[in-house]
Amino acid sequence: MKEFRRNWYGGLTLIELLVVIGVVSVLFSILLVVIGKGKMRGQSVKCIANLREWGNATMLYSEKTGGLLPKDGAPNGRSRVEGWYVELPPLVGQRVYHELAWHTNASEPLDNSIWICPSNEKVSNGNNLFHYALNRGVNGSGVGNRQHLSSLTYPSMTVWMFDNGGRAAVAGVNNADPDIHDGGGNFLFLDGHVEKVPGEEYWDFTRDRGHTDSSDLLWNP
């Protein structure tokens, strides 16, 4: 009877076959986790590269204007005359915001430009779409205000742009996505460097919505 079972299952007993299937299932599950984490890391790397490019555009703009930073612009991105989304893109070979079809049309495919974070699933709500937001605390309140880069005491700690949890062009810490990149978000600082910051450093997870202040993040310099 034992030989019959081995021949029937190609040399394996039923128990041995079940063990093999179980091992293969476990290995497949592990492989899926590894692939998933690899994909998330790749998306975060692309996002960091995007923010670095926005940082390059900011530095180029500052050099051209004698040290000034670009204006905030309108939070909904409707200004076609001024604002970071108008003044910065041409400096790094990108189209300005109002020329992008997806910004008011959710059915338009998102491109692979520096405007788009591959981990961000948000599409337009019919009015606007910014995967990255500018920190409204740097230039102060008001669309037309501009800060001088040299006036900032701690540019390496001052948040300039960040992974957007909403859709606005200009926002504060409440819009920073706390978990878009495996437990954190990517931040561009005003010395040009980009880093991933754990969500608990700027978000209070004990409440539905809120934030905590971190000594390493300056929102209102």
Q: For residue 42, is pLDDT > 90? A: no
Q: Scanning the structure block, which residue is given the tokens 């500018």?
A: 134
Angle, CA 210 vertex, CA 162 and CA 135 arms, to 5°: 25
- Domain locations along the chain: 2-201
Comparison of pLDDT for 29 and 68, the residue scoring more: 68
Per-residue pLDDT at 93: 96
Q: What is the mean pLDDT of the chain?
A: 86
Q: What is the pLDDT of residues 1-23, one digit of tens each?
A: 444 444 444 566 778 777 778 77
Q: What is the pLDDT of residues 191-216, one digit of tens each?
A: 999 999 999 888 877 665 567 767 68
Count the helices and strands in the chain (H runs, E runs): 4, 5
End-to-end distance of the chain based on CA atoms, in angstroms? 81
**H helices within the chain, ranges in order?**
2-8, 14-64, 84-87, 136-139
Q: Scanning the structure block, which residue is given the tokens 């997870």?
A: 205
Q: What is the pLDDT of residues 118-161, one digit of tens each?
A: 999 999 999 999 999 999 999 975 555 678 888 899 999 999 99
Query: pTM for the full model?
Result: 0.81
